[in-house]
Amino acid sequence: MKGSFLQNDDGGIPRVPLFGRNDKLARKVLDILFTRFAAQPFSLEQLEGQATAYYPAAELVYGLHLLRQAGLVNTVSRGWGEPLYALPLSVYFEIQHKSFLLLEADWSRNEKLQGCVKLVREAKRGLAHDLLRALSAIAQGDLPLTAKGRVQQRAIARFTGLFSLQEEDLAGLQLHYPEQEHYPPVAAVLLDMALALGLARRTEQAWAVKEHELSRWLRHPEPVMEGLLMAELLKRYVPARPFLQHAACALLHPAFSPGKWGSVEGILRQLRAKGILRVSPSADPEQAEGAEEEADTTGFWLLSWLKALCGFGWLELGYADEPGKGIPQPLTVWPATEEPLVDQLTNPAGLMIRWLRKPDLEAIGIGVGGFHETWIQPGIEDKPDRREGNPQVTDGTDHRKPLMSASEGAFFVQPDYEILVPPNTSYTIRWELELCCELISADIMTTYRLTRESVEKAMNGGRKLDEILTFLERHALSGVPAAVSLAVREWGAGAGRTSLLPATLLHCPDEQTADRIAAEPAVEGALERVGSRHFIVEDTHLKPVYQMLERLGLVPPDQLGETAARKAGYPRISLVEQAVEGRPQETCVPEAWIYAGKPFRLYPSDARIPNLEELFPGLRHVPASWTSELRAYHASTVKLLLQQALAWKAGVELRLDNGICTALPKWIKGSGEWRAGADLALDPSDEKACRAGIYRELTAADIKGIRIVLPTEN
């Protein structure tokens, strides 16, 4: 399957030309899944609840299995009970991109308002940058755990203060996670992302980074990072309400270009045009009142989501100052009060959004023409792509391509010890700056400063003075001022007068083995030979020494590998893209803390379609004419056919006085002169006007012919 698997069909849900005679059925089921469930998990019972006279439950279930076989629906699990099903994000977004078209009136209005929008909420530095700071703090040992397994309160307060993301940015998202009273929302979100992406773990003593996965993460271009982060947010931070996921995903539609204001009202209007409502309409006054409350809750959450996207560095919020209307007075002092914008999301005529940086989901294989999801499904890491010719999934980057050569510049070192970092600087270089410098400001241009304390911190993290200077000289675009180099040398010399360093003694069984190890060029500077059979290994060099011993077949039986993982110090991330040495520290699936929706994991792929006998038990014992021939029967036999259709949740074809129609039996009562209730599909063109069909009570005398309608196998 190559290219786009969907084709437009008369402006509606894209057509799926994969199923021969079942094309129409598969298309309808895909329409229902997209509209009613978005990419949220659903059960067979929920799908059957969408049955109508036009598409009975039996056909919907068969269509679901067709979509599963084509790889357009995943089988998922919550860890208990019956399996659930869900559209993959890649499929969801492809349908959305092809079936959502911004209405012409909204295009025109957006263009007119470009110069008439008041900015009311700016974008922060960004979630990817905050995650870098979080991982750096973890690697520096800033999150030790108490005996109860919690981060110390003072440490968590310092940790939370590192980020541009603030608690007010997350208010209203209804996040739930363990030990919520102990971990502030900002810290919880950053730790959750580190866990979910497999970048960090909790040991008995402290939080720690997973160096193999971290090295891979830092080599991603920032658009890939942001795509992966957005996918995590869409999967786990959106409540299990399809409308909210539709709305959150609609913001990412290609119609909303970075740098241009777009109307929130236009998004909601498009959702309504597709039959996607905030709540289901109800004639019951009590239910209508509850629906109104739910609509208010939905509006508040959507506003909170927009604010969070600002906090994550992607979005700006504004209000249209349309000529002659002006901006509501309370809004001019926002965000001192947030009530005006809550009102505006109930009636969002003036609320506008502008993408500053739009997460690129296509960069990670989600979107038009994308089929796989890398690091997206909870509990799945490096999921195999089973398409022919693609034995291994990719993550959107070429791992053989250099990000930056060893001599290429990356930042500017100023005479006042400040370091100016342009926005396109690699995260592998930013990783080292986080250790060697203090962050001053993070905007389009990030500013760090070299200080005595930061140099001492780097040396405590395992860096030697010459390594710090070499790093600065190699990547300074205009060189390092002489006064700065001199100051760094003085600070480093003062920090390194004397020190007590933890070290490990490497014992060799004989002198020949020791000579063999000493001859290895990879250990130069990492080992200090003492005597004929022993070496001193500094803890900061344990991991490369362990890898060398493993390569020579001399790996110690137990403790060194564990010690290396625990005491390796601040990871040294290579600045040239290449295969990451070593193995992942853990083989278990990544964890996650936060689930606003339904947590689930993918089942192993099972694309087999149940045969008709499995779907309709007892089919072989039923007369063939019951399912193949529209004909008249005795009243008692008609009743048997209706009962069998009810048991199978199938539709029937009926010949009535006014013609032939399909019907969905609802109930049957009585023994001799029985009655049955059914929804009738009198005309396929009536489906939009009367989605369920026309309800009617029938007797045996009304039914001149009957046939049970079952799906047709390809």
Cα 48 to its chain centre, rounded Å, is: 28
Secondary structure letter of residue 463 according to DSSP: -
Same domain assignment for residues 50 and 147: no
Tokens 């299995």 sit at which residue? 65
pLDDT at 607: 61
Angle of CA points 572, 575, 577, to nearest 5°: 115
Within-domain flag for 147: yes
Tell me the C-alpha distance between 343 and 340, whole Å: 5
The CA–CA distances, whole Å, from 278 to 263, 265, 267, 314, 353 equal 18, 13, 13, 25, 20
The alpha carbons of the chain give a radius of gyration, in whole angstroms, of 31
Segment-wise mean pLDDT, segments of 10 residues, the chain, 714 residues: 40 54 87 92 93 93 91 82 87 85 66 81 94 96 87 92 95 88 94 95 91 93 93 91 91 87 83 71 43 65 93 93 51 42 55 91 69 33 33 34 47 96 93 95 93 92 90 93 95 70 83 90 81 85 82 68 51 60 46 75 67 91 94 95 96 93 94 92 62 86 95 79
What does the alpha-carbon distance between residue 355 and residue 309 come to, in Å, rounded to a whole number?
A: 9
pLDDT digits (tens, 9 = 90+) for 350-376: 888 999 999 988 888 776 444 333 332
Do both 59 and 137 map to the same domain?
A: no
CB 86 within 8 Å of CB 41: yes
Q: Do strands 446-449 and 418-421 pair parallel, antiparallel, or not at all (unpaired)?
A: antiparallel
> Quick check: is 125 in a domain?
yes
- Judging by DSSP bridges, how do beta strands 412-413 and 418-421 pair with one another? antiparallel
* Residues 276, 290: Cα–Cα separation, whole Å: 18
Alpha-carbon dihedral 434, 438, 441, 442, rounded to 10 degrees: 0
According to DSSP, residue 364 is labeled: G
pTM: 0.78
- Residues 150 and 74 occupy one common structural domain: no
The pLDDT score that the predictor gives to residue 18 is: 58
Structure tokens at 371: 């089929």
What's the rounded Cα separation, in Å, for the pair 598 and 41?
A: 7
- Give me the residue label for tokens 């959004």: 353
Look up tokens 């390569």; give the residue.
551
Mark whether 267 and 120 lie in a shared domain: yes
Here the CATH number for the domain that contains residue 64 is 1.10.10.10
The answer to whether 435 and 457 have CB atoms below 8 angstroms apart is yes
Cα distance between residue 264 and residue 106, in whole Å: 10
The pLDDT value recorded for residue 319 is 87
Q: Which pair of tokens denotes residue 369?
A: 């023409």
Sign of the four-CA dihedral 492, 493, 495, 498: positive
Domain limits for position 521: 504-552
Percent pLDDT > 70 in the chain is 75
| The token pair that represents 86 in the structure block | 């869900």
175 located within any domain:
yes
Closest CA to 125 of 509, 423, 572: 423
What pLDDT does 497 receive?
56
pLDDT tens per residue across span 645-665:
999 999 999 999 989 999 999
pLDDT score recorded for residue 313:
96
Q: Would you say residue 605 lies in a domain?
A: no
Q: In terms of domains, do 416 and 515 share one?
A: no
Q: How many domains is the chain partitioned into structurally? A: 5
Q: In sequence order, which ranges of 125-184 are alpha helices (DSSP H)?
A: 127-139, 153-160, 167-170
Q: Would you say 263 and 351 are in contact if contact means Cβ atoms under 8 Å apart? A: yes
- What are the Cα distances from residue 262, in Å, to 103, 605, 644? 12, 40, 53
Residue 586 covered by a domain: no
The last residue of one of the domains, among 473, 494, 515, is 494
- Regarding whether 152 and 65 lie in a shared domain, the answer is no
- Span 563-615, pLDDT tens digits: 433 455 788 885 544 444 444 444 445 578 888 766 666 666 566 778 888 99
The answer to whether the CB of 441 falls within 8 A of the CB of 468 is no
Cβ(342)–Cβ(172) below 8 Å = no
Say how far apart CA 116 and CA 113 lie, in whole Å: 5
Query: The CATH number of the domain where 679 resides is what?
Result: 2.30.30
Q: Is 132 in the same domain as 205? A: yes
118 and 216, same domain (yes or no): yes
401 domain-assigned: no
Pairing of strands 200-202, 117-121: unpaired
Structure confidence at residue 538 (pLDDT): 78
CA 707 to chain centre: 46
Burial of 632: CB neighbours in 10 Å, binned 0-12, 13-18, 19+:
exposed
- What are φ and ψ of residue 120, in 5° steps? -115, -15
Is 418 in a helix, a strand, or coil?
A: strand
Q: Quote the pLDDT of residue 103.
A: 60
520-532 residues labelled b (16+ CB within 10 A) or e (exposed): eeebeebbeeeee
CA-closest candidate to residue 173, choices 595, 526, 651, 507: 595
Output the six-digit token pair for 239: 């409540």
Instruction: Give a yes or no: residue 339 inside a domain.
Output: no
Q: What is the DSSP letter of 532?
A: T
CA dist 254 and 358 (Å) reads 10
Question: For the packed helices 427-436 and 465-475, what is the interaxial angle rounded to 10 degrees?
Answer: 140
d(C-alpha 440, C-alpha 146), whole Å: 31
C-beta atoms surrounding 459 within 10 Å? 20
Q: CA-based angle 132:133:137, to the nearest 5?
A: 120
For 391, the token pair is 């034995």
The three-state secondary structure class of 74 is strand
Whole-angstrom distance, CA of residue 159 vs CA of residue 147: 19
The answer as to whether 475 is a domain residue is yes
Bridge partners (DSSP) of residue 421 are 446
Tell me, yes or no, whether 192 and 304 share the same domain. Answer: yes
* Residue 453: CB atoms within 10 Å: 11
φ/ψ of 59, rounded to 5, equals -75, -35
441 beta partners: 447
Q: 440 and 508 in one domain?
A: no
User: Do 490 and 512 lie in a common domain?
Assistant: no
**Residues 489 and 508 grouped into a single domain:** no
Cβ contact 687:681 at 8 Å: yes
Domain end call among 87, 112, 142: 87
Beta bridge partners of 15: 7
